[in-house]
Amino acid sequence: MRALDAILAVVWAPRCAACDDPLDAPTRGAVCGACWHRLPAIAAPVCDRCGVAVAAGDTRADSRCTNCRRTGGPPTARRAAGVHAGTLRAIVHAFKYDGRRSLARPLAQRMQDAGGDWLHDADVAVPVPLHAYRRWRRGFNQAADLAAHLGVPVVHALRRTRHTGRQVELSRAARLEALGGAFALARRSGRRPAGAAVRGRSVLLVDDVITTGATVEACAAVLRSAGARQVRALSAALAVAAQSQPPSPRQRRPAPVRRRCAPSPARRPDGGSSPEPA
Ligand SMILES: [Zn+2]
Ligand SMILES: [Zn+2]
């Protein structure tokens, strides 16, 4: 492969989808090794409700963060491969908006690491669905691509009943309201009714990014009312408080010329932490 990499690096000169540096080994994927190494992982111990790192020195046995101890935490427990910031955010954007679908496998590997025992407990993985229009525009559902590489049987048990539009500036309460009734049980999953595929099962709900969690809770509510025994959410990235986010590698250099002009929130001046549509 080394000779082929050397030839490709000169002739084709591909660049890393996250940092835009020239790729030394193009046959190993669209993102350079240095970027995979500097992912902003969520430091253990992780809160077993909301998935954020529990503060250093907080060693109480229930492994919940201060916030979840106070509030009880979200109804659906969450885990993620990393914080939606910096390099991971750039990788997720390249995957989702630039159509770099080959990134699904390495992202899903990191989700498997983060999911740990959840992967063994799960009977089925259910990707968060896109509305048919957005699915058609994008050409793929990023959550379904990730779910396909988790080693858990995938059931397309949900559908999006309406196009909810962009929710960039919406608060969590406004998102919850906007998403009310936006998800429903799919009529069928393969050859069986979708309800039968999740009834009594432990379900791993899969998405690319968990921002406020409104989408997760809307989907989980549908799965629970269909009889799912347990619902837990696993994502590639988890949005956390903006002040703890490192800058994206792309924010430190001039914006490269992209193949497509899809919105890339990594280059927005406001640098918001929840900028993407589904
Ligand atoms: Zn890179
Ligand atoms: Zn928590």
Q: Tell me: do 88 and 161 sit in the same domain.
A: yes
Which has more confidence, 202 or 261? 202
Q: What's the rounded Cα separation, in Å, for the pair 259 and 18? A: 14
* 229: pLDDT strictly greater than 80: yes
Among 29-33, 84-88, 188-192, 218-222, whose mean pLDDT is lowest?
188-192
Residue 124 and residue 2 share a domain: no
Residues 14 and 76 in one domain: no
Q: pLDDT at position 171, please?
A: 74
**214 in any annotated domain:** yes
Residues 104 and 66 in one domain: yes
12 sits in the region (left: phi over 0; alpha: psi -120 to 50; else beta) called alpha
The confidence band for 95, taking pLDDT boundaries of 50, 70 and 90, is very high
pTM metric for this prediction: 0.82
Centroid of ligand 1 to alpha carbon of 178 (angstroms): 36
Judge whether 209 lies within some domain: yes
Rg over alpha carbons for the chain, rounded to the nearest Å, is 19
Most confident of 25-29, 51-55, 85-89, 168-172: 85-89
Does residue 107 register a pLDDT over 90?
yes
Per the domain annotation, does 274 fall within a domain? no
Compute the distance from residue 182 Cα to the ligand 1 centre, in Å: 37
Q: Which ligand sits closest to the CA of 68?
A: 2
- Ligand nearest the Cα atom of residue 18: 1
Q: Is residue 245 part of a domain?
A: yes
Whole-number Å distance, alpha carbon 16 to ligand 1 midpoint, is 5
Report how far ligand 1's centroid is from the alpha carbon of 32 (Å).
4
Residue 136 lies in a domain: yes
CA of 70 to the centre of ligand 2 (A): 9
Judge whether 275 lies within some domain: no
Distance from the CA of 233 to the center of ligand 1, in angstroms?
28
Average confidence score pLDDT of the chain: 83
Q: Distance from the CA of 48 to the center of ligand 2, in angstroms?
A: 7
Q: Are residues 150 and 32 in the same domain?
A: no
CA of 69 to the centre of ligand 2 (A): 7
Residue 154 or 39, more confident: 154
Residue 162 pLDDT? 79
Looking at the structure, tell me whether residues 190 and 239 fall in a common domain: yes
Ligand 1 centroid to Cα of residue 49, in Å, is: 32
Q: Which of 6-20, 97-111, 202-216, 241-255 has the lowest mean pLDDT?
A: 241-255
Q: Kindly give, in sequence order, each residue whose CB lies less than 8 Å from that of residue 29, ignoring residues fewer than 6 positions away.
A: 102, 103, 106
Residue span of the structural domain in which 30 resides? 1-38
Ligand nearest to the CA of 49: 2
Q: How far is the CA of 146 from the centre of ligand 1 (A)?
A: 20
**CATH number of the domain residue 205 falls in:** 3.40.50
Residue type for position 167: Q
Query: Domain check: are 196 and 234 in the same one?
Result: yes
Residues 145 and 182 in one domain: yes
Lowest-confidence range among 24-28, 82-86, 112-116, 173-177?
173-177
Mean local confidence (pLDDT), 214-238: 97
Tell how far CA 55 is from the center of its chain. 23
Preceding peptide of 45 cis, ω within 30°: yes
Closest ligand to Cα 51: 2
277 within a domain of the structure (yes/no):
no
58 and 28 belong to one structural domain: no
Helix pair 214-225, 172-179: axis angle to 10 deg: 40
Distance 31 CA to ligand 1 centre (A): 5
* Residue 253: per-residue pLDDT: 45
* pLDDT score for 184: 94
pLDDT mean over 169-189: 79
Q: Is residue 272 part of a domain?
A: no
Check pLDDT > 90 for residue 209: yes
Question: For the chain, what is the domain count?
Answer: 2
Identify the pLDDT of residue 114: 94
Q: Are residues 32 and 53 in the same domain?
A: no
The yes-or-no verdict on residue 241 having pLDDT over 80 is no
CA of 210 to the centre of ligand 2 (A): 14
Q: Which ligand is nearest to the CA of 16?
A: 1
How many Å apart are CA 87 and CA 212, to the nearest integer?
A: 20
More confident residue, 205 or 176: 205
Among the residue ranges 52-61, 81-90, 116-125, 138-147, the one predicted with the least confidence is 52-61
Do 134 and 243 lie in one domain? The reply is: yes
Same domain, 181 and 105: yes
